[in-house]
Amino acid sequence: MSNSSLLEMTAAFDCMHCGLCLESCPTYRATGQETQSPRGRIALVRALAEERLDYADVLPSLNACLLCRACEPACPSRVDYHTLVDEFRQAKPAKLLSWMKPAFFALLRFLRRCGVLSLAERIGTPTSRALAASVPSQPTLFPTHFTPPSPQLPQRGTVLLHLGCVQKSFFGDSLKSTANLLAAQGFQVEIPAQPFCCGSSHSHFGEPEKGNQMRTETVAALSQSADAIISLAAGCSAHLQEQSSIPVLDPLLFLNQQGWRTPPVTKKLRAVWDPPCQLDHVLNQAGAMRRALQECTHLQILEPEDAELCCGAGGMSYALAPEVSDAVTQDKIEKILRHKPDVVLSTNPPCRMRLETGLRKAGFKGEILHPVELLTVFSQP
Amino acid sequence: MDSEKSTAGRMKRKHLLVDLKHILGKAHVLTDPGSLLAYESDALTLFRSRPSAVILPKTETEVIACAKRLHQAQIPWAARGAGTGLSGGALVPPGGVVMALTRMNRILEIDPVGMRAKVQPGVVNAALGRAVEPYGLRFAPDPASQTVSTLGGNLAENAGGPQCFLHGTTTNHVFALRVVLPDGTVEDWGTPSGVQDGFDLRGFFAGSEGTVGIAVSIDLRLIPQPDEVCTFLAGYDSVTKACEVVSTLVAKGLQPVALEVMDQNAIRAVEDSVFRAGLPVDAGAVLLVEIEGSKDSVQKEKEAARTILQSFHPSVFKQAATAEERTQLWKGRKGAGGALGRLAPDSYVMDGVVPRSQLAAIMTYVEEVQKETGLHVANLFHAGDGNIHPHFSYDARDAEQCATVEDAGARILRKCLELGGSITGEHGIGLEKENLLAEQYTSEEINLMERVRQIFNPDDLLNPGKGLPMKRGCSEVFRRHAISHG
Ligand SMILES: Cc1cc2nc3c(=O)[nH]c(=O)nc-3n(C[C@H](O)[C@H](O)[C@H](O)COP(=O)(O)OP(=O)(O)OC[C@H]3O[C@@H](n4cnc5c(N)ncnc54)[C@H](O)[C@@H]3O)c2cc1C
Ligand code: SF4
Ligand code: SF4
C-alpha cells in the first residue's frame, strides 16, 4: 500500500492524542512504552502516512499489537483502531499465514510427540522458539470420520459444529466432548464438510480479501437450517458471526440459553476462567459466558485481576514480538496463580495454548481446559 | 572545525547511551526512530520535538544514576508520566533525553489509619483510587485524565478536577516527597505527617512543571469516602444564566464539592459519544452540582441548593437517583473533552481562570471571539473555581486555522488577565504560554522566579524552556506542528 492510500485512513486522523486509551492496553501496561500503546501505534502509522517515518520503523510496534481491541471502547473519539491496523497490515501480509495448513499442524503434533519441540523451545530464533513453545504438550487431532452420538430423545433441535484449524488440530478431544455433551442434552449435532480454516487470521494479518473469501466458504458450508453454529473458538466465532445469519456460539453459552435438560455435575474445584478478548471486546459476550459458567458448573468461577486485559496470545505478537507478549503473559499468569486454581479454563484455542505455555513454565500442575471438558472429564456419574 | 565538533558530539552521545544502557539494561533505553517519534508530543500536539533517546528507569537508584550521568553530559532532559499534559511539558529540545516514569508504578504503602499512601511517581491516579477504595478512602484530585495520568504528572502540573472546588488541587493532597535534583542529589521535602515546618519546599514543587527535580516517591493524603453524595443536573437556556446560578449558590454560602458547567456544543458532543449521559441536548447549558458529606449535612445543603437551582427556572432538573446514574453523569462530563475531539482532526483545549463573579463576562467574550473567527468552540468549565476550558476544533494541517486558533486562545487569556484572572488554572504554562506569562507578571517578578528555579536547576538542563519564558534565542527549538508539518 502506498503512503497516499494510508493518508486516506481517517482513523489515524480521528485520534487526538489524548491518551485516554493507554491504560486499557496490555502491551503499554506491561512495558510502559508509548510505542506499545494504541496512541503510539496510531501516531506511528500517521507519521508513516506523512512520510516522517519508514515502514521498517513502524513495524515492530505494530507487530507487538495483540489486536485485542481493548483500546476501542476506551476511546472517546471512537477511533476505528482495528481497521487502521488491518489496513496497515495489507502492505506486507504476515509470512506465517501460508503455514496454516493441515500438514503443518500434523508436523507440529509429530514433533511434539517425539520430543523435538522441547528441544526447539530452547534453541533457535526467538520466533521459532515461541512457536515451538506454543504447541500444547498433548495435542489431539479431531478424527476425520467422527460420528456424533444420536441425540437423547426427545430431540430439541439441531446444531452445526464448526471445527476450526487450531481447535481441530490440537484440541480434538474438546470437540468430541462438545458433540457428546450436546447430544446428551437433546441436540442433533451435524458436522458438515467445511474448509480447514475460517480465515480469521488472514483478515487481520494483511490478507483481508482471502480472509473474507475463506469466511464466505465456511459460512456456506455451515448454512443448513439449524439453531446455531457451535464453535469452541471465540476468535472464529467473532469472525464468522460478521457474516453468518444464524448465531455462532460457544457450546456452554448455547446450552445455557436453551436451558439445561439434566444439569451437569462437576467436582468441587477452584476454577479460574480468563475471558478471551474476542468474546469480551468484539462479541460482547463475556458477561453471558460468565453467568453460563457459574450456572452450569455450580462453581464459583474466579477471574484474574484485570481480566479484561489480553493474555498475550492475541495477534501474532507471541511470534513476532515475543519479548512484549511474554511480559503481558507473565503478568496474566501471576494474576491467575494468585487464586491458587485447580483448573484454568479458556474458551479460545490460542489463549489456551498461551496460558498452557505460561502456566507450565510457572510450575502449574493442574489442567488447562475448555470448560466443556470440565463437565465431561470431571463430571461424576 | 564544525565536523570535528560534531564528531566529538557523536562520540559523547554514544558514550552516554552506552552508560545509560549499562544502568538500565538495553531494553529500557530507546533510540529507534519509531520510539523517538512516539515521544515527540504530549496531548498538546501543537508542539513536536523529537528526543534523541527515551529512558525508562524502574527504581529510585536508577533515576539517581541516570540523573548524574545526564548532568555530567550536560544534556537537556525531562521527566514524562503518561504524556497527557496539555501544555507540552514533557517535551525536550531536539537532542534531549526523555525519562519516562511509567515503569515506576508501584504503590509502596497504604496506611489506612494515618490516611496516607506512599507511591512511586508512575502510579496512575485512578489505580491509587481503586487500591484505597476497600479501606473506605479516596484520593481527592480527579482530573478528567485520571484513568491514565500519573500521580507524578499530577503533582508536577498541580492538577485539578471537578472535586477540587471543595478539596483543593493536588498540592493540598501531598504530605511529602523525595526529589532527585538535576545533578542527582536526593532531597526529602515535607513530612509524612503533613505538618510543614520551615520553608514549604513540598508546596514549591507542586506545579513546578518538572523543572525543579524528579519526584521519585510521593506521600499522599487520602480522605474518607463521604457517607452520602447527591448530584443535581439542571439545564438552563444560556451559559450566562448557568454562571449566574453558580454565583448565587456560592454567595449563599453553599459548599458543593463540584460545580461544573457545559454549554450546548459540549452537551451535544457528549450525547453523540460513548459517554452519553442523558443530558438535555436543547438546553443552552447544563450545570452539574455535587454535594457530599454526612447524611445530615447533605440533607440540609441539598434542599438549599434545590431551591436556588429551581428559582432560576431550569428547563430540565433532576437528581441522580442511583450511583450508576451519578457515575454516568460524571463520565459524560469527564469524557466531554474526548467527545469534542471527534468533531475535527485536532482540538485545542484552553485553560484560563477568572474570578467567579466574572464568569458571565468571559463567556460573553468567548462567544464574541467565536463569532468573529468562525471557529467551532465548546465550553466546559469548573465554574466553582472560575476555571474555563474553551475547546477549539480545527485542522492542524491548515496553517491559517492554526494561527487563528492560537490567536483566539491568546486573546481569551488576555481577557482573563484583564478581568483579574490568570492564564492557567491547571494545565500549566509549559511551552504554550510562556510569552503570556510576561503579561501576567512584571519582568522583575519573572526574574525572581527564574532565580529561585536556578537554585535547584542552575544550568536549566532539566526541562528547559518550560514554565518560564525562554532565554532569548532558544524559543524556536520546539517547533510548532503547523510549521514542522510542511
Ligand atoms: C483528556 C484530558 C483531560 C484532562 N483533564 C485535566 C483536568 O481535568 N485537570 C487537569 O489539571 N489536567 C487535565 N489534563 C491535563 C493532564 O492530564 C494533567 O496535567 C496531568 O497531571 C498530566 O499527567 P501525566 O502523567 O500525563 O504527565 P505528563 O504529561 O507526562 O507530564 C506533565 C509534566 O509533569 C512533569 N513530570 C511528570 N512526572 C514527573 C515527576 N515524577 N517528577 C517531576 N516532574 C514530572 C513532566 O516533565 C511534565 O512537565 C487533561 C488531559 C487530557 C488529555
Ligand atoms: S483514546 Fe482515542 S483519541 Fe485518545 S489517544 Fe487513544 S485512540 Fe487517540
Ligand atoms: S488492540 Fe490491544 S494491544 Fe493493540 S493497541 Fe489496542 S489495546 Fe493495545
Hey, what's the torsion of the CAs at B139, B141, B142, B143, to 10 degrees? -140
pLDDT of amino acid B483: 30
Q: Which of B154, B135, B127 is nearest to B222 (CA)?
A: B135
Confirm or reject contact between B483 and chain A (CB < 8 A): no
- Cα A310 to averaged position of ligand 3 atoms, centre (Å): 9
Confirm or reject contact between B29 and chain A (CB < 8 A): no
Q: Cβ contacts of residue B333 below 8 Å, gap of 6+?
A: B144, B162, B260, B262, B270, B277, B288, B380
For residue B86, give the C-alpha cell: 496539555
Q: Which of B158, B145, B163 is nearest to B288 (CA)?
A: B163
User: Would you say the CB of residue A233 lies under 6 angstroms from ligand 2?
Assistant: no
pLDDT of amino acid A169: 93
Neighbouring CB atoms inside 10 A of B243's CB total 26
Contact status, residue B114 vs residue B136, Cβ threshold 8 Å: no
What's the average pLDDT block by block, 10 residues per block, for chain A (381 residues)? 55 83 96 97 92 92 93 88 85 71 88 86 83 88 90 92 93 92 92 92 83 92 91 93 93 92 78 92 90 86 93 87 92 96 94 93 92 72 39
Handedness of CA B342, B345, B351, B356 (dihedral sign): negative
- What does the pLDDT average to over B244-250? 93
What domains does chain A contain, in order, with CATH numbers? Answer: 3-92 (1.10.1060.10), 271-377 (3.40.50)
pLDDT of amino acid A137: 87
pLDDT at B338 over 90: no
What domains does chain B contain, in order, with CATH numbers? Answer: 107-224 (3.30.465.10), 228-418 (3.40.462.10)
pLDDT of amino acid B478: 62
Contact status, residue A260 vs residue A185, Cβ threshold 8 Å: yes
- Cα A24 to averaged position of ligand 2 atoms, centre (Å): 11
DSSP A149: P
pLDDT at B135 over 90: yes
What residue's CA is closest to ligand 1, atom 11? Answer: B159
Cα–Cα distance for residue pair B306/B296, rounded to 1 Å: 16
- From the candidates A16, A59, A88, A324, which should be mutated to test the interface with B, based on the most B CB atoms within 10 A? A16
Cα–Cα distance for residue pair A184/A151, rounded to 1 Å: 6
B338 vs A16: CB contact, 8 Å cut-off? yes
Q: Which of A283, A239, A331, A281 is nearest to A70 (CA)?
A: A281
Contact status, residue A230 vs residue A159, Cβ threshold 8 Å: yes
Handedness of CA A268, A270, A276, A281 (dihedral sign): positive
CA-based Rg of chain A, rounded to a whole angstrom?
Answer: 21
Helices vs. strands in chain A: H and E counts, helices first? 22, 8
B145 vs A19: CB contact, 8 Å cut-off? yes
- The chain-wide mean pLDDT, for chain B, equals 91
Tell me, what amino acid is at A365? K
Cα–Cα distance for residue pair A288/A257, rounded to 1 Å: 9
Q: Which residue of A has its CA nearest to B54?
A: A33
A61 vs B34: CB contact, 8 Å cut-off? yes
Q: What is the DSSP string of B10-50?
A: HHHHHHHHHHHHHHH-GGGEE-SHHHHHHTS--S-TTEE--
Angle between helices A234-241 and A208-221 (to 10 degrees): 90
Q: What are the tens digits of pLDDT across the range B74-83?
A: 999 999 999 9
pLDDT of amino acid A5: 59
Hey, what's the torsion of the CAs at A375, A377, A380, A381, to 10 degrees? 100
pTM for the model stands at: 0.91
A33 vs B83: CB contact, 8 Å cut-off? no
Contact status, residue A91 vs residue A55, Cβ threshold 8 Å: yes
Helix (H, G, I), strand (E, B) or coil at A235: helix
Peptide bond into A26 cis (omega under 30): no
Cα–Cα distance for residue pair A110/A94, rounded to 1 Å: 25
For residue B393, give the C-alpha cell: 476544533
B32 vs A54: CB contact, 8 Å cut-off? no
ipTM: 0.91
Query: Which region holds residue A78: left if phi is over 0, alpha if psi is between -120 and 50, else beta?
Result: left
CB contacts, 8 Å: B62 with chain A: none
- What does the pLDDT average to over B251-263? 93
Q: Which of A305, A131, A162, A293 is nearest to A226 (CA)?
A: A162
pLDDT at B239 over 70: yes
